[in-house]
Chain A
Amino acid sequence: GAVVSQHPSRVICKSGTSVKIECRSLDFQATTMFWYRQFPKKSLMLMATSNEGSKATYEQGVEKDKFLINHASLTLSTLTVTSAHPEDSSFYICSASEPVNTEAFFGQGTRLTVV
């Protein structure tokens, strides 16, 4: 299957700083990517849909000014957690699919810890 790579896999940051997470489709072009977050022992929660060349679409309750999403190319989407707080500590996962494919492929996830 297609490969989606996330970087970094783990990051620790101080409260008040910003953290950028990258999601890349390595062997296909993805016009749409998705960002999820997952708390311990919980399911994945969709945060936003990232559309190449246009503004992201956020799910209800997700602060767009806090979670900045940029999808500048067909192979790269970034999620920036701004002014991070300990409650933002979570597992962030991205997914992408080819325009004509029915499967979504997921990155390996990024474990964010805010101290």
Chain B
Amino acid sequence: DAKTTQPPSMDCAEGRAANLPCNHSTISGNEYVYWYRQIHSQGPQYIIHGLKNNETNEMASLIITEDRKSSTLILPHATLRDTAVYYCIVRALYNQGGKLIFGQGTELSVKP
């Protein structure tokens, strides 16, 4: 699976949009971009995933560049409960039944 690069930390004001970038310049054609988050002392939580089209669900939006070498996770109205470490992971669909290799992630702090 391709490697990802994320900034180690970011701050965001409560109520504002949080835009979390991820670089995955070596992504291959059959690999998807997944985002998970981990609130302190809990297991990771699935957020969203996509291949090449932009995706949106009730939690977030995922914007993938046309060349697929980078993506941005957008939390449209961040709340204090969104404070967590966010992981961007690239993996092939159905690859080893859900095996995920975690990078260092971005620690997002949402401030009042």
Chain A residues engaging chain B, CB cutoff 8 angstroms: 1, 4, 6, 31-32, 34, 36, 43-46, 49, 91, 93, 95-97, 99, 101-109, 111
Instruction: Verify B46–A1 contact, CB threshold 8 A.
Output: yes
User: Footprint of A on B, CB under 8 Å?
Assistant: 32, 38, 41-46, 49, 87, 93-94, 96-105
- Quote the shortest CB–CB distance from B41 to chain A (angstroms): 7
- The distance in angstroms between the C-alpha atoms of A86 and B105, with both chains bound, is 27
CB distance from A6 to the nearest CB of B (A): 7
Q: Contact at A109–B102, with CB atoms within 8 Å? A: no
Q: What is the bound-complex CA distance between A78 and B112, given in angstroms?
A: 41
Given A43-B102, A44-B102, CB of A105 within 8 Å of CB of B46: yes
List, in ascending order, chain A residues with CB within 8 A of B101's CB: 46
Min CB–CB distance A66 → chain B (angstroms): 21
- Asked if A96 and B43 sit within 8 Å, CB to CB, the answer is no
**Which A residues touch B87, using CB under 8 A?**
43
Q: Is A111's CB under 8 angstroms from B98's CB?
A: no
B72 CB to nearest A CB, Å: 20
A-B residue pairs in contact (CB < 8 Å), sample of 18: A6-B43, A32-B97, A34-B98, A34-B99, A43-B87, A43-B103, A43-B104, A44-B44, A44-B100, A45-B102, A49-B96, A95-B100, A101-B98, A102-B32, A102-B93, A106-B43, A107-B43, A109-B42
Chain B nearest CB, measured from A58 CB (Å): 13
A104 vs B95: C-alpha distance when bound (angstroms): 11
Contact check, A91 vs B46: say whether CB atoms are below 8 A apart: no
> Chain B's nearest CB lies how many Å from the CB of A75?
15
Q: Report which of B41, B96, B105 forms a contact with A111, defined as CB distance below 8 A.
A: B41
Q: Which residue of B lies closest to A57 (CB)?
A: B96
Residue of A nearest to B93 (CB): A102
Chain B hits for A32, CB < 8 A:
96-99
